[in-house]
Structure 1
Amino acid sequence: MELQHIELKNLKTTKLNVRKIGAKNTADLEASIQSLGIIQPLLVRANCEGFEVVAGQRRFHALSKLAQQGEIEPVPCIVMQEGDDAKAIEASLAENIARLPMDEIDQYKAFSALAKQGTSIEDIALQFGITDRQVKQRLALGNLYAPILSAYRKAEINAGTLRALTLATTKQQKLWWDLFKSEDQHAPQGHSLKSWLFGGANIPLENALFDVANYKGASVSDLFEDASYFDDATNFWTLQNQAIAAAKETYLANGWQEVIILDIGEYWNEWEYAKATKKDGGRIYVQIATNGEVTFHESYLTREETERQKKVQAGEVMADIQKAEITKAMQNYLGLHRHSAVRTELLSHQGIALRLAVAQMIAGSSLWTVQADPQKANTDAIAESLATNKAESVFQAERERVQSLLDLSGEEGEPIVPRKTDWGKTPDLYAIVAKLMELDDASVNLVLTFVVAETLPSNSALVEVLGEKLGVDMAKHWQPDQTFFDLLRDKETLNTIVKQVAGKSTADAHVASTAKVQKQIIQDGLSGKRKNGKQDWQPGYMSFPMTAYTKKGGIEAMDSRKALKKLFK
C-alpha cells in the first residue's frame, strides 16, 4: 500500500463497501472535516476510471457535499494492491462496525462474502471483535425467504420476528409469508411465531414419508385451505420413525458410510457444513421438524472435517483416527468387569494357570515383576459398580482363604501380591517360602493359581483369549447396571440394542427418539415392565469373543484379541 493525494473527481464508491444504509448521514463529519480536515485517509484501490473507495464511504460523501460549497483539496488516500477483495471487505466492515452501525442484512452480506472466500466463522468473529454466535446469527439470515428480508429492511416486520423465522424451514417461511400478506388472516409474530413454528400440533398429511393408508387415525381438513392434518401425533410419529429407519437402511445399502438422524426439532445450520461426495466420506443428515417435515441433506461433512481433509492431503497434519464406537470410560468399565469374570473362572483351571505362570516367568509381561493388577477405575461410579460384581465377591472369599494358608493378614480387598503403589508392603520372602514348605502340593497349586489370577492384567488380550477359551458366561457374574447405561452413548448402538431387547418394530418406531428414551425402553425390557422384553439379554460387549454394534472400530479389547488370537488354537 502507499499514500497518495487524489482529486475528489477521480474517486467513486464501490459495490464492495458493505454499508447500504446510513452511508450518506454525514452532517457530523462535514463539520469535523471543515474544522480539522481529513484525519484518517480513505482506503481506495485503482480501477479503470480512477479509484474506488473501499473504506471511508461516509468521509467521501461528506467531501462531496462540501465540494458543492467550494473547492476541495486533493484527498489523502491509502491505495490498496490489486486483488485484495477479502481484505477490502474486512477493512470496510471493520471501519463501519466501529462507526455507524449497519443493519443486520448488510452485516449478513458482508460475512457471507467472507465465508464464501474461505474465512472461518471464528476468524470473522476475531477480525471484527464480535462473538462466533453473532456471526452465526447474521449468516442464518441467508436461509430466509427473500421477500421476508425485503419486508424487514422496509421496517414492515420487527427484528424479533425476523430472528424467529431463521429457525423455520423454507416451507414454513413461505407459508408464514402468505399469511403475512393475506388481508383476512393473521401471521403470528414474536413469541406467538415460535409457538406456531414449534408447537407440533398441526402435522400436514403431505409431511408423511409413509403411505397415509397405513395411518389408523383420522385426518382433519381445513375448509378454507387445500390442506389436511393428522389428528393423532403419537400414531403419526410411530409410522414416520419407521419410514425414517427404512430410509436410513436404504442409504446404507447404497454405499453411504453414515446417516445421522438429528433429534426432532434440532436445527441444521447449513453454513456449518460443506459438500462432500459419497466417495470422500460425505454423510446423510436427516433433519426432522416438529411438524413432521423430514429433510434429507445428502453429501455433507462438517466444515472442520473438510478443512482437515485438505490439510491431510497437503501433508500438513496426520489423518485422524476414526472416533471409537465406545468411550474410554466404557472401555474401562467393560475391561474391568470382563477381567474380573475371567480371573475368577481361572481359579478352577490350575493347569492353565501354571502354564501362564511359567510363560510369564520366562518372557515377562506388563505385570510380571511381579505386581497385582491395580484395578484402577476411571470414575467413582465404575468403582462402585465393580464392587457389587458377583465375581468380585467370590474372588475376595478366595483371597481370604489363601491369606489364611499363608498366615498373612491384610485389609479387606488388599491384594496378596503387592501393587506398584503399595510401597513398603512387600511380604517377607523367607517367611512365605517357609510357609509354602509346610503346605502340600494341592495347597501350593491353589496359591499359585490365585497369584496368577491376581496378577492377570486387566484390559489385556490375555483376558479376551482366556475368556473365550474358558467359555466364560458373563451372565453368571454381571448384569447391566445404571453405570453401564450412563456410559452407553452411541446412537446407532442404542438403536440396535433396542431392537435386540424390544424388537424391530419398537426400534424402528423410536429410531429418532432421544438416547434417554431408548435407554429407558431397554431397561424396561430387561426388568419385565415391557411386554415381550428379552430379560436375559447380555450386550455383545460382554460376550466372549466381544462383538461390536457398528463398523466404527476403535475397541481396544477386540483389537488386542485379533492380535493374539492367531497364536491360540
Structure 2
Amino acid sequence: MQITPIPLGQLSVAAINMRRGRKVPDVSDILPSIRARGVLSPLFVRRAACPAREKGAPDHFEILAGKRRYFASLEAARELGEDRSLPCIVLGPQDDAEALEISMIENLLREEPDEVTQWESFTRLVREGRSIEDIAATFALTELKVKRILALGNLLPRIREAYRSEAIDAATIRHLTLASKAQQTAWLALFEDAEAHAPRGSQLKAWLFGGASIATAVALFDLETYAGMVVTDLFGEEGYFADADAFWAAQLAAVEARKAAYLADGWADVVIVPVTGHFASWEYERAGKRKGGKVYIQLRRDGEVVFHEGFISRAEAAAAERRARGETEDQKPARPEMTATLASYVDLHRHAAVAAQLAGTPALALRVMVAHAIAGSPLWSVRPADTASRNADIASSLAAAAATGILGKRRRMVLALLGMDEHRASLCQDRCGSHLVPVLHRLMALSYAEVIEVLALVMAETLAIGSEVIAYLGEHCAIAMADHWQADEAFLGLLRDREVMLAILAETGGAAVASANAGEKGATIRGLIADHLTGANDRTRCERWVPRWMAFPPATYTERGGVPMVAAARRAKWMVGEE
C-alpha cells in the first residue's frame, strides 16, 4: 500500500465519510502538532470526479477517513500562507458499503464517535445489505451492542439530536427507545417547554409504564408460558412487564405453588406478606422445622418475592419457652426473686470488683478492649472507615491499589486467627455486642503477639478518612506514596483545574513543555501528562511521581486554598504544638 502526497486543493470530504455533514470539527488538540510537523498519519482517499467547478478533473480525491487532519491542515495552511500536501493512501474503487466501513474503522480507532453518529453509519450499512452479524464482526462489537445502537432508530429525530448534543442522558434514552411515537411526542413537548418538567431516568420509566416498572428478572414463573406483553430494552439485559395486573396474576399463582411445596416439605406454616405489609426481622427468631418454624413470603412493590425460611414471632418463641418450662398459657408469671433496686446494688459491686481486677491486669484488659472494638457493646461503638465510593472509577482504582491488597491480606490472616469467615467485609462490623463474649473467648486463647496483630488491624480499619491523625501518622512514618500509588485513568480524569494541570505538566514533563502547551485544551494537557507518566509517544517517563496533595506532608499547587489534606496537616501540627 503506497503513500502518495496529494495537495490540499485536490481533496474534499467524501459524502460517504461517517463525519460528513456535521459542523467543522474542533481541531485545537491536533493543530499545534500539524503546524509544527505536518500530518504524520496518512489519510484514506479514493479517486473521484472533481465538482463541476473543477471541470471534472481526474486528479481529485475524496477523503474516506481523516477529516480532522484535513481541516487542521487547511487551518495551518491559512495561518502560514503556504500550500501543503497531505500523505494519502489511495484506495481502489470500492462500493459505498466498503468505503463506509473503512471510514468507520479508522474513526473508531482514533476517536470513538457518539452513538447517534454510529447509528447513522450502521443504518447506511444495513441499507447497503450488511447484516447485524456482519457489522458486529467488522467492528469487533457484540451483536447486542449493534442492536442497541440501531435501536436509536426508534426515536424521534429531535430526540436523537438532543442525545447527540448530550442534552439527554443515556439512561433516559434507554427508556425512550421503549416508548411509542405518541409517548415520545408527549415527552418531547415537556422537554422543550421551559416551564414544564420532563421525567428522566427511573421517573421516566414509571411515567411510560404508568407506575413502577417490573423487570422480568423477578418473575417466578416461566416467561415462555406468560401470555402478557413483555417490553424488551435493547440497551440492557432485561425486559419489563407492560401490564402490571397480568404480571401479578401470574406471579401470585407461582407464589401459591411455592407455598404448597413448602407445606409439603414439612414447614409448620407459610405466611404470605402482602405488598402493603412488611417483614421486620427483629420481630422474629430463627426456628427450624422441628421447632415449628414457618416460612414468610414477602411480596415487594417492584415484583420481587423474598423467601424468609425458618422464623417464628418473638411472642411465639416466648410461649414455646413457657411450655418447655411446664407453664400453662394462662399461668401468671412468677414473682422475681430480686427487686430492681437490689439487682442494681449487686451489679454495681460486681462491676467495681471486675474493673479493679482489669485495671491491674494489662494483658487481660488489652484482650477485653480489642473484643469491645470488634464486637461493640452498649458503651462501645467503633465503626470501620467507609471506603466505598459511588464513583465507579474511584472504586476500581482503590480496589486495584497495592495498599488495599496489603490490608486485605492482613485482614484475612486476622480473621483466620479468630475463626471468622475470611470473606467478612471488615473485622469491626458488629455493633450491638451480641458477639462480644465469643470474640473475647477466642482472644483469650491467642498469644500476646497474635492479639497485637488483631489490634493493629482494628486500628487500621477504624482510621478516620481525611483526619488529622492520617496526616500525623503519614508524616511520622515517612510514608512514600510512590510505593503505594501511581497515576491511573481515574485520577487523570478527575483533573479539571487548568492552572493545576499545567503545574502538574511542569512537574512531569518539564517547565518548557508546560509553557509550550499553556494555550492547549484541558484534554490535550491531560494527555501530555499521561504520556510523560507512562513514557508513551516517545515522551521521557517521569518515575515515582505523586501529586503534591498525595504526599506526606501534602502541599498545594495554587494559593487559592480548598485542599482538605493540607488543612488537616496544619491542624495536626497546631494540635501537637498545643500539647
The question of a shared fold, defined as TM-score above 0.5 by the shorter chain, is answered with no
TM-score, structure 2 normalization: 0.36
Compute the TM-score of the two structures, normalised by the length of structure 1.
Answer: 0.36
